A and B are shown apart, each in its own frame.
Chain A
Amino acid sequence: MIKTKDMKTGRDLFILYPGDYYASAIQCFIGSVTGSCVIVCLYDTIRRIGGMGFLIVPGAIGTEGIYRDQIAAQGINQMELLLGELVKLGADRKNLTAKIFGAATFRESRLSREFISTSQLRFIDQYFKSEKIPVYVDDLGGDYRRKIYFSPTDGKVYRKVLSNNDESSEFIKMELEFINRIFRNKDTFGDVILFE
């Protein structure tokens, strides 16, 4: 993540790289670019706190659904990291609404259209239902990248379709690295420490 300034408004702009997550209760923009990953923007409509994070589920989710699935556990955890930041700022899961973007497919990608449309969309559908977080916008699919600006204190999202990949070559490289990292670590779980 880097902190810079939005030229038009003079507000702080936090640019997230694939895999980053950030939440804020003060006026700013959080921005990023996504291709096959999903950018999730969560907004607490009562407390006016918002955050953005990345989501990619590293494989197929079993027929039993997300509760007993170790692949889904990785997606749940990516969301937990973002939700944790929101809660630390005073947000409550009960007031949250979601806007989600991405899950694009590209001919040159190792991630097939089938994989994106079944695994990712299935996880998103089950997860947000389970969390009872209403999804206000789901702008998913297509074969193009999206540039997203999120204003965390009013929940507004500004989206631009990127037709030219040159503009986002840095993000394309980093997204691939992030996806590879999540797939490589799909069998990795957290440590256990016993005190007594």
Chain B
Amino acid sequence: MSYILVVDDSPTIRTSVEFTIKEFGFPIKQAENGAEALDTINEFKGKGEDLALVVIDVNMPVMDGISFLKEFKKTDRFTPVLILTTESEGAKIKEGKDAGAAGWMIKPFKPENLKDVVMKLIQ
């Protein structure tokens, strides 16, 4: 079964997101920043595990969410990437959209909203 990757530099947010979406039954993996996310994806691709969805923060050390998105979309145009961030500025959201994000959710997230969006994106 394909997995969902949750990327945020906050362990609290990663755990909250995991609690919210684990009822869908997908295995969930976590990464702390964009670079670690790319490594994780490559590692599991090597093992033949498919990626269903990435839920990723913007402001993270090492590699931010937008840089991840640009890098990731070079090799995978189809797997949806959902941005989950405190950033609400129009220009930032447009940057995400232009880089190929499937959606933009502003923190704090309502668990029901996150579930709805994840459900839509993994179908």
Binding site for B on A (CB under 8 A): 66-68, 70, 73-74, 76-77, 80-81, 83-84, 87-88, 90-94, 127, 130-132, 189-196
Given A81-B86, A91-B61, A67 and B15 contact (CB-CB distance below 8 Å) = yes
Main secondary structure of the interface of A (DSSP, over half): helix
Q: Is the CB of A191 within 8 A of B61?
A: no
Chain A: which residue is nearest B98 at the CB level? A195
Number of cross-chain contacts by CB at 8 Å: 95
* Pairs across A and B, CB under 8 Å, 15 listed: A67-B12, A68-B16, A76-B12, A76-B13, A76-B108, A80-B107, A93-B9, A93-B61, A94-B61, A131-B12, A190-B105, A190-B109, A192-B105, A194-B103, A195-B97
**Partner pick for A68 among B9, B19, B105, B116, CB 8 A cutoff:** B19
Q: Is the CB of B108 within 8 A of A87?
A: no
| C-alpha spacing A39/B120, complex, angstroms | 40
Given A76-B13, A93-B9, A84 and B106 contact (CB-CB distance below 8 Å) = no
Given A77-B86, A190-B88, A83 and B59 contact (CB-CB distance below 8 Å) = yes
Q: Is the CB of B10 within 8 A of A83?
A: yes
| C-alpha spacing A88/B60, complex, angstroms | 8
Q: Which residues of A contact B97 (CB under 8 A)?
A: 195
**Partner pick for B108 among A68, A77, A93, A94, CB 8 A cutoff:** A77
Q: Which residues of B contact A193 (CB under 8 A)?
A: 93, 103-105
**Quick one: which of B52-101 are within 8 Å of A by CB?**
58-62, 86-88, 93, 97, 101
| C-alpha spacing A132/B12, complex, angstroms | 10
